[in-house]
Amino acid sequence: MKRQSVFPGVLFIAIGLYYLFQTLSLPYSDQLMNWQVILIVIGAAMIIQGFISKEGPMLFPGVLLLGLGLHLYFVNKLAIWPKSWGMYTLLLSAAYLVTYYKTKKSGLIPGLILLAISIIELLYTGLEIWLATTFSFVGNFWPVALIAVGIYLVMKKK
């Protein structure tokens, strides 16, 4: 027997709960009636679909939407919530690593690299200042380094 898609069912449950909260004016419903919660619900539905029906490709966007929804929801509600760009690389890292965990195909290396970048950025708040002062001499010539790397990648033997 073929397993049916769980995603539409979870989505209908979430939409029903949304309108039930709105109709009955339940406590805390004003805090749950925003677009961030919609991202969280869609992401959770995709993750549930990915794990239950063994659809690995649903995990990557699911983790991204869930993570973005949680981040954007809590960034203005909790004073200790990080507001830096490191959270976005952390979310991408989590999406790659969860997808790799489920599929065992690809995503481990990018996930670990993004995780390392996130940890460095989130733990060292002065990193941006240090980078700006250390590499200020580069100025307008940083594209030359990109061109050099590109030429190396094109010319190297396989």
How many domains, in total, are found in the chain?
2
* Average pLDDT along the chain: 81
* Structure confidence at residue 112 (pLDDT): 93
Residue that finishes a domain, picked among 81, 110, 141: 81
Q: What is the average pLDDT across 57-65?
A: 90
Are 47 and 63 within 8 A, CB to CB? yes
Compute, in degrees rounded to 10, the torsion defined by CA atoms 17, 48, 73, 16: -10
Residue that finishes a domain, picked among 81, 112, 131: 81
Distance in angstroms (rounded) separating the CA atoms of residues 76 and 69 = 12
Query: pTM of the entire structure?
Result: 0.70
Q: Which domain holds residue 54?
A: 1-81
Distance of CA 102 to CAs 10, 32, 97, 121, 123, Å?
A: 20, 30, 9, 27, 29
| pLDDT band for position 63 (cuts 50, 70, 90) | very high
Give per-residue pLDDT as tens, 121-150: 888 766 666 666 776 666 667 677 778 888
Residue 66, number of CB atoms within 10 A of its CB: 23
- For residues 87 and 127, membership in a common domain is answered with yes
